Structures are given as structure tokens and as C-alpha cells.
Amino acid sequence: MPIRIRIGRGGKGRLSARILANQLAILALTGAIGFILFAFAQRGEIDRAYEQRALAIAQTTAAEPQIQRALEYGGGGDIVQTVAERIRKASGASYVVVIDLHGIRHSHPDPALIGEPVGDPIVVLDGGTHVGSDQGATGRSANGKAPLYGPTGTLVGEVSAGLPERAVLGELWRELPTFGLYAAIAVALGSAAAFLLASRLKRSTFGLELEEIAGLLQDREAMLHGIREGVIAFDPDGRITVINDEARNLLGLGTALGSRLEEVLPDGRLRRALDGTLTGTDLSVLTDDHCLVVNRMPVRLHGRELGAVVTVRDRTELIGLLRELDSVRGLTDALRAQQHEFTNRMHTVAGLLDIGNHDAAYQYAVESAGADQALTESVRERIGNALLVGLIVAKTTVAAERGVRMVLSDDSALGEDPPHLRRLLTIVGNLLDNAIDAAAGGPPPGGGREVRLSLVEAVDQVMVRVEDSGPGIPPGAAESIFEDGWSTRPDRGTARRGLGLALVHRLTQRHGGTITVSEGPGAVFTVALPLPDATRVPADAEFTMASPTRGDRG
């Protein structure tokens, strides 16, 4: 069942209002700053334009022939003042002043200043024009100065013209409202965009306020790194967005955020369980170090797919204990079978004694005791290790109770301290349990129900061969039977099926061995383990379930 997230909408609108208010304040501030900067820039442009206009007036005045002759030849009365005033009034200038090379004014809006020297030096002696702003007798003006040449081309003076400051400011004030309108339109459009952005951010945060988002982040970090269960979250594209420390440890992942599973894990049952290829709950997966239980849940919010969350639990110790408990139950079954057999024999002996046939009773008791001893001795003749002998004898008794005859082949030969002892106990126990289940699970194809075991220690390897008279491996399943969770029967007892053969396969491959199985009726499993060398992995560093498992195939 997918996880559905419902988010409360307490304090609705607060986040949008705060974002909108901040953005409007920023827009207003930037708009005001831009307006002021534009005003200064426009003021400079207008100043330069008016300076050029003043210079044009000065050049026009300097080009007047009457003024040129009067300044070079003298005389002419008030002609210079008359012409200069006419030009000043026609152009709207605040002043048009004609100055000779001695700095004496020949024209001025204030007639009282005519004939008086100017305070500034003559600047057109270089033959060029000059512009700027000055504070004259008529107030502050945009000023332009042009050289004055006589009819003979001789520099005879300077013409200075000025436009009043109020004209410059008036031009600026006439342009500012238009720019203010543009700025208001820009702020309005920015406000609308800010409102839409705030609404979208509100939807993106599922109605959560900033404080709630911060609290959720703190809670998530505390939860993810505080629990003893691996948690991995995937986005809709299958990329890892969240992974806690326990998941990194259990899966052997390093920096996996933003990666796809195929980039960090090889193909196998583990990756298929994590990416959802394998469906179901509590999927058992074996790794080199752990027995994991994997669950994957898709996540939806308001009908939208947000990805999936995978939980990974370490069941290594629990599975080991369950297998050990299941093994103890198997031993209990064996003891119960022995007790049942012993009770039958005692009843027989008691009956013979009751009818007074003491010789027959004695002979029967001796033969019964010898049969059990003979079984143990026959195994000891071929298998030197006491742990393996006990395992084989116990499995033989359990098989007999289930109507299955278990036989140790004549070619079996194993020393007292065989290599791979711990692995052999796991491998032999699992394979025998599977074979007994298969042989007892249905009618035999020919003769009786039988399981044959062969244990051979050769010069370069140890070989285990288990053959049963059961229905065998289905066609095409020779590879898949070694995957975690593969089984043809439901779970029995405390242990989950589908782990035994996977564990045998993993142990065999990890230590450079091989495992093969025949298809068709009467399955034959053959395991070959090379003899360990000085660089073999220490036994206590391996992931094994020391107790043999039961019934992982059929």
C-alpha cells in the first residue's frame, strides 16, 4: 500500500505574505535607487546638452561679421552690445559676453559691467572651444566659450554664452514623470511576478511555513540517523535522495546521494528488491555480511508520485537464532523418533519376557542395540570429525522417521580436522534438509525414498555430493534456485524458506568453489571447495548461519 502524505495548512498565507512583502520591499528599494541614479544620469546628460547649446550660441555670436570687425578694428559704438543682446534674447541664453584679449567685456546683460575686466583668464588662447558650468553674475549657468577671430583671421577675443540652471532643471523635471511612470509599471509587473512566485513556492512547500520546514528538517535528521533501520528514499526518476547511516552500513554504500541504483550496486536480488522489480513484503536478501529484510513503499501526495521509500532491516542474528532453533527442533524430532523406536523395542522385549521367552528377549535386545551402534560406527569409519558424524547420524534418524532412507556412500572419506569445517557443516546440513524434504514430499519415481550423501577430501579440494529421489529441479530453474527467497514450498517452522541454497551458493562462490545441480527427477547437488591457503578469509570474519537450515527448496 503506497504511503500517502497529508500536510496540515495551519497559518495559511503567512509564508506567501512574508515572501511577497519582502519581494515588494526589495522592488520598491531597487526602484527608488534606480530612479535616483537615473535622475543623476539624466541630469548629467541634460547638462552636457545645454553646454553644447551654449557653445553653439557662442560660436554663432563669434561668427557675426559686425562683432569681428568691431573687435579687430575698434569703433562701432554699441554695435557689439546690440548684436550680442539680440542673439541672447533670441536664443534664451542668460548671457552672451564678448571679451577682448585683455579681458575687457564689450557686451553683457548688465550694461554697467561693459568695459569692466572679467575675473577669469582667457581660455581660448589655444584656439579651441570650452564648455562647463560657472557661477556668474546672472547665476549658475551651463557655459560655452568660443574663440573670436577678426576679418583677417587674427584671434581678437572670446565669446562666452550661458544657459540658466533653471532651464536645465526644468528639462529634467519634465522628463522625470515619464520615467516615474515606467518605474511604476516595472514595479507593478515585478509585484505580480512576486505574487505568482510566492504562490508557487507555497505550493512547492505543501503549505508549510518556514519554521515548520526547519522543524521537519531537524526531526528528519534526528529520526534518520537515530533509528537502527536502514532508510533510503528515491525520487520519481529513481535517484537516491535520502540515505541514513544504517543503510550505508548494511548495503556497503558510500556517497550515494543523487545516484541511481545501477550506478552504486551490481545487478542481483538486492538491487531488484530496492528498485521495486521484486514485489512483495519482507523480501529476504543475503549479502556477504548480512541477511536483510527489504520493504519498498511508493509515496504519493495529492495524487502526485513523489518516489518511494525503502526500509532495510538487519535480520542476521535473528535468522541465525531461528535457524539454530529450527535445528534444535530437528534434533528434538530425531530424539523423539529414537524414543518412539526405543519404546517399541522395549514393548517387544517386555512382551517376550511376559510370555517367558527369555532367550528371544535377550537376543532381540542385543540386536537392537547393535543396529544403532552399527550406524554410528559405519559413519565413523568414513568421517573422522565428530561434529559431522553427529550431524549425519541426526539427519539419518530424522529421515528415517519421515520414511526416507539416508545412505552415506562407500567412497566418502573425511579426516578428523577437515578444511572448511564450519562451511561444511552449513553446506551439508542445508543440502541434506532439502534432499530429505524433496524425497519425503511425494511418491518416489521408482524405488523407495532415498537420499545419498558423499563427502570426499581429495588432494586439492573437498567435494560434497547429495542426491535425492524426489521430483527434482524444474526445467530452467537451475540458476534461479540459488537466489534468495526461491522456494517451491511455503515457510515452515520459524525459518523462512529460500535462504538455505542461497547461503550454500554464496559460501561456495566466496571461497572459490563451484556448485552444480542436475535438472529433472532426482536432483543431484555437487559442491567442490578448494583447499584453503594461507590467505583465506578467517572463519570468524565470514557471514554464515552456523546452524543448518531446513527445507529451503521443497
The Cα 64–Cα 149 span in angstroms is: 10
CATH topology classification for 226-315 = Beta-Lactamase (3.30.450)
pLDDT tens digits along 234-271? 888 888 888 888 888 888 787 778 888 888 888 877 88
Average pLDDT of the chain is: 76
Superfamily of chain region 17-170: PAS domain (3.30.450.20)
pLDDT tens digits along 461-477? 899 999 988 887 777 66
Superfamily of chain region 398-487+498-532: Histidine kinase-like ATPase, C-terminal domain (3.30.565.10)
b/e for 456-480, b at 16 or more Cβ within 10 A? bbeeebbbbbbbbbbbbbeeebeee
Instruction: Note the pLDDT of residue 436.
Output: 86
b/e for 229-253, b at 16 or more Cβ within 10 A? ebbbbbeeeebbeebbebbeebbeb
Q: Where are the beta strands (DSSP E) in 324-458?
A: 405-408, 450-457
For residue 327, pLDDT beyond 80? no
pLDDT band at 423 (very low <50, low <70, confident <90, very high): confident
Strands 240-243 and 304-314: unpaired
Residue pair 183/77 in contact (Cβ under 8 Å)? The answer is no
pLDDT band at 494 (very low <50, low <70, confident <90, very high): very low
> Residue ranges of the domains in the chain?
17-170, 226-315, 398-487+498-532
b/e for 297-319, b at 16 or more Cβ within 10 A? ebbeeeeeebbbbbbbbbbbeeb
Instruction: Note the pLDDT of residue 547.
Output: 38
Instruction: Note the pLDDT of residue 496.
Output: 46
The Cα 278–Cα 547 span in angstroms is: 28
Higher-confidence residue of 511 and 210: namely: 511
Instruction: Note the pLDDT of residue 354.
Output: 81
Strands 450-457 and 405-408: parallel
Query: Which parts of 205-290 fold into alpha helices (H)?
Result: 210-226, 245-251, 261-264, 269-275
pTM of the complete model: 0.45
Same fold, 17-170 and 226-315: yes
Query: Which parts of 63-117 fold into alpha helices (H)?
Result: 65-73, 79-91
Q: Which of 172-176, 320-324, 390-394, 532-536 has the lowest mean pLDDT?
A: 532-536
For residue 548, pLDDT beyond 60? no
Higher-confidence residue of 373 and 79: namely: 79
For residue 370, pLDDT beyond 60? no
Instruction: Note the pLDDT of residue 374.
Output: 66
For residue 147, pLDDT beyond 90? yes
Helix axes 65-73, 79-91, angle to 10 degrees: 150
